[in-house]
Structure 1
């Protein structure tokens, strides 16, 4: 079977094709102008009584030819050929919507596909193997990961998995900011903590890092190498302390991310870009292209020529001729593209608004296409316990770390809650709700549906029911309760959902989908007795339950959440 094949996708494409032919017939009859070429988009209505699919193409045609949408819809319906089609009914609704109602003929092959593909169900070939690099978290190596990092990790990892399922070749990367001013401040802060441990009365320098983690690090380092360290000259001491602190903190970040179920393909060091001033090549390239100029002693990039809101300084006017942060950032993204990636996606924190314009302008100035880079912003997280906000302040050392959050609510709840809202929206994270072992907790609700299905199969096994009845043995026509039909339609939609969610870069929609599947299963379980004395009906319903279990397990896996067999 073609990797890009989706039963529901084929049905949608069939409907689009039939509408296009109907429009062509109307043009032949002189009912529509010859130049008419509308974009036909098929959507899923919000309510089942509005049909399985809908399109607003007639209203778009009406606007273009200056007639009302209902009249245009009537023309399309009159020429619509429904022979050998799963369409059983077409209604004209409201100002000209076309609502399509399908028969059951397409559901049986859709269910058979779930059975045959199992853990691979949902995978399509829409991405055509396009090489994508997703860079996310990339926290400064100056302290433990925080809850915004945890949110970015959930979003980035889920998006990477979604795009892999949609047929892209995806690479996960963490950029280590191990060069620049923050490392110097980190070294000075660790030195102050070391001196405090050794009994000296010194303060952490202004703008430094005050967290307890540096005090713990200082104690360990002093015990292991304290006397030796302080025999170094001041410059060597700061260099050593900066490297040591970065190594320790990055190693700790790796450990916590692994506990979160996240493994990166590459950890890329900023320091490697700066060695030998290699990153300055981008400045020279822009200069050679005539895209720089000098003003007020600084070197500027003509970024407004590429859509940026203002030109950007590349080299400051100070004595050292210091490069601004855009230079290594641009060099890093050029490096990514030189490694053969066709699309770069950066998932950044809330303080990066406006970053896309200047970076995209830089890449365009270097000759790369405008769509080579996409940026997703992950907004702030507000933790709440007992209805009260839990404060976060990295500089003050008073924030809840990602590790502490995982210890309190667990990996599954953390990932689920972080994925429930659009990354661009602020998130209130209810710690009490995340720990709750009941259906009020949304992750429990979804996982419980999977566990309940496992329980049904344990019960069936004890009763001697057939557990591996496949599509060829099942009497599919017995599945006719509205709750069964609704569940099957949702399960059939999974590959298209994955594709659409991946293309929109909206991983929060996966949580919405799996919650709808869990709800549909709970409704089916309440309305329909799965195991009964009616053997053919029992087999059909066990078959449907197994298909639902496959889809839930696959959706949870994409989100990095476990699918428990019991709860």
Structure 2
């Protein structure tokens, strides 16, 4: 029995007992509901519980407590289950056996870095596409939240058995990019002494002038001699690549990496293929009767597919809209590259685009539930009571790099993960840098560092704990720590199935608390020779706890320091 299957094992035991009760004729139901196994809110009620008797009562025409008793009587405690009991108003509570819990220390050590891995994904191909901001400026704090959420979610889904691709969609076509190119072109001219007016929708901020200066250093003033369209195109190509490099480096600073950087331009290129992805997608929609000509523009009939209004895909000028690009991009994801599921993480300003995107994939022959869009809500930066709003370098927002420079990568990742994506959040800069137990990042990493120092001390003293007897781990704080460690396996599945990575930092806090309580109440390395065997057993528990700490921190994309620097 692997650690991963404990919850499922309890469900199977309950199912077998219900089947036996049916055979015995004491319970008569034609179709039993799915068996739900949950963790009780009150630990005194046990490790797991099922409300099956309550849910069976009407169909079986019996009292829930009577049903609970009849089912419980047909369950024999085994290797995992230490005890069980019916509980009002119709539950069955289960407590894991101490002996089984003790043996899981060995199982955790044997699993190592793969601890908690599951196969619920069954190798299904999943794309997680996140950040994907236009390369017109640096990544700001709002984008950073989505970056961290996407990164941790992808890590966890991979641990749950999915084949995950992390993708950044480079929006390098359209009017915003044209405005960016012209903004850099304007600063390039001004830096070389030519009068030039910033476009009305141009990009401000020192970073635009910095890019122009870098282009002058690399290319010299020669671009002034070219025809303006060619000069803008050349400057635009250089500026775009520089901006993508900046974005890539900034994301790397918080440990966010991608398997693929996908250019929007690729959607419109034919190369050796008979048609581009854009052409194929539009043709498919037209053949399906989903497009209509109105006032010279091409409209997608979204209303017929559940949206509240129809949407333009090609303007009367013949220029595709952003929506048209999104349709082609999702055609590429599902039909072109064969992803079974796509998860997009968008900013709060894209909330209204979700229904039309669902309608579009449906029109492309894809089940809408195979596309999930997570909305990452707004972030407010606070320093004490003061709201932090602007950055001189960008002109109007605080960049990812500025945030990392102030609070560090680990604090960025922990704090952005700690709230559900659907909720707005305040990021407390002062708390994030505080070196005390009030700071959850410090509290969790201090627990790991304390763990590492114990193992380091054992190594210095030449203590080999590989033969430690885990059956000696009987103290309530030892067993509580093991119970907490084992919850990571369930959590990986929960995060992967519900797409809720915010549970990871809360679990990290619970693990740290359990370890601190163990450390404060159970002396690990004792000077008393009579305690040698217990020392070995506790060191083995500390080693297993380190495995779980590292696994948890790795899923969150955080470091696992072995000492805390002051």
Question: Does TM, normalized by the shorter one, top 0.5?
Answer: yes
**Which secondary structure state, in structure 2, belongs to the residue aligned with residue 493 of structure 1?**
helix
Which of the residues 399, 402, 405 maps onto 2:403? 405
**Would the alpha carbon gap of residues 322 and 505 (structure 1) be closer, same or farther in structure 2, given more than 3 Å must change?**
same
Cα–Cα, structure 1 residues 556 and 165, in superposed 2: closer, same or farther, change >3 Å? same
Structure 1: stretches of 5+ with no match in the other structure: none
Q: SS in structure 2 opposite 1:565?
A: coil
> What is the CA-CA distance between 1:53 and the residue it aligns to?
0.2
Q: CA separation in 2, counterparts of 1:324 and 1:68? A: 62
Instruction: Give the superposition deviation at 1:465.
Output: 3.0
Alignment of structure 1 residues 411-430 onto 2, 5 Å: 411-430=409-428
Q: Against the structure 1 CA distance between its residues 298 and 152, is the aligned structure 2 distance closer, same or farther, given a 3 Å change threshold?
A: same
Using the TM superposition, give the Cα deviation of residue 198 of structure 1 relative to its aligned residue in structure 2, in angstroms: 3.0
2:13 matched to 1:18? yes
CA contact (8 A) 2:79 2:100 kept: no
Aligned to 1:347, what secondary structure does the other structure show?
strand
Q: Is the 8 A contact 1:356 1:374 kept in 2?
A: no
Separation in structure 1 between the aligned mates of residue 217 and residue 93 of structure 2, nearest angstrom:
74
| TM-score normalised by the chain length of structure 2 | 0.93
Q: Quick one: which of 546, 550, 561 aligns to 2:543? A: 546
Query: Is the 1:209–1:395 contact (alpha carbons within 8 Å) kept by the matching residues of 2?
Result: no
Task: Indicate yes or no: 2:305 matched with 1:306.
Answer: yes
Would you say the 8 A contact 2:285–2:363 is kept in 1? yes
Deviation of the 1:223 alpha carbon: 4.2
Match of 2:455 among 452, 457, 463: 457
Partner of 2:42: 47
C-alpha spacing 1:262/1:10, structure 2 compared with 1 (3 Å):
closer
Find out whether 1:559 has 2:556 as its counterpart. Answer: yes
Other-structure match for 1:6: 2
- CA shift, 1:30, in A, is 4.9
Counterpart in the other structure of 1:486 = 480
Q: Secondary structure at the match of 2:99?
A: coil
Q: CA 1:224–1:34 in structure 2 vs 1: closer, same or farther (change >3 Å)?
A: closer
Q: Distance in 2 between matches of 1:239 and 1:66?
A: 77
Residue matched to 2:323: 326
Q: 1:375 aligns with which of 363, 373, 383?
A: 373
Query: Taking structure 1 as reference, are residues 207 and 69 closer, same or farther at Cα in structure 2, changes over 3 Å only?
Result: farther
Which structure 2 segments of 5+ residues have no match? none
Residue 189 (1) aligns with residue 188 (2):
no
Match of 1:535 in 2: 532
Deviations, residues 396-430 of structure 1 (Å, cap 9, x unaligned): 71321111111111111111111111111112111
Alignment partner for residue 92 of structure 2, among 95, 98, 105?
Answer: 98
8 Å contact kept, 2:215–2:238: no
Deviates more, 1:113-122 or 1:300-309: 300-309
Contact 2:29–2:60 (CA under 8 A) maintained in structure 1:
no
Q: CA offset at residue 207 of structure 1?
A: 1.9
Q: Alpha-carbon deviation of 1:66? A: 6.2
The answer to which of 54-63 and 520-529 deviates more is 54-63
Of 88-97 and 527-536, deviating more is: 88-97
The answer on 1:435 being equivalent to 2:433 is: yes
Cα deviations by residue, 1:261-305 (Å, 9 ceiling, x for unpaired): 222111111011123582132122111122223334433323334
1:387 equivalent in structure 2: 385
- Counterpart in the other structure of 2:109: 115
Q: CA deviation at 1:31?
A: 4.8
My pick for the range that moved more, 493-502 or 549-558, is 493-502
Q: Residue deviations 1:100-134, cap 9 Å, x none?
A: 12222321332211111211212222211111111
The answer to whether the 8 A contact 2:206-2:394 is kept is: no
Q: Deviations over 1:331-384 (max 9, x none)?
A: 111112221221111111111113232222212211122232111111111111
| Aligned 8 A contact 2:113 2:547 in 1 | yes
Offset of 1:50 from its aligned partner? 1.5
Is this contact kept in 1: 2:170–2:261, CA < 8 A? Answer: yes
> Contact 1:114 / 1:121 at 8 angstroms: preserved in 2?
yes
| Contact 1:184 1:238 survives alignment (8 Å) | no
State the TM-score, normalized to the length of structure 1: 0.93
Measure the CA separation in 2 of the matches of 1:185 and 1:68.
Answer: 71
Q: Distance in 1 between matches of 2:238 and 2:202?
A: 16
Question: CA RMSD, aligned part only?
Answer: 2.2
Deviations 1:436-472 (A, max 9, x none): 2222211111111111111112323344433xx23xx
Bigger mean CA deviation after superposition, 21-30 or 486-495: 21-30
Residue 126 (structure 1) aligned with residue 120 (structure 2): yes
Greater mean alpha carbon deviation, residues 296-305 or residues 544-553: 296-305
Q: How much does 1:33 deviate?
A: 4.0
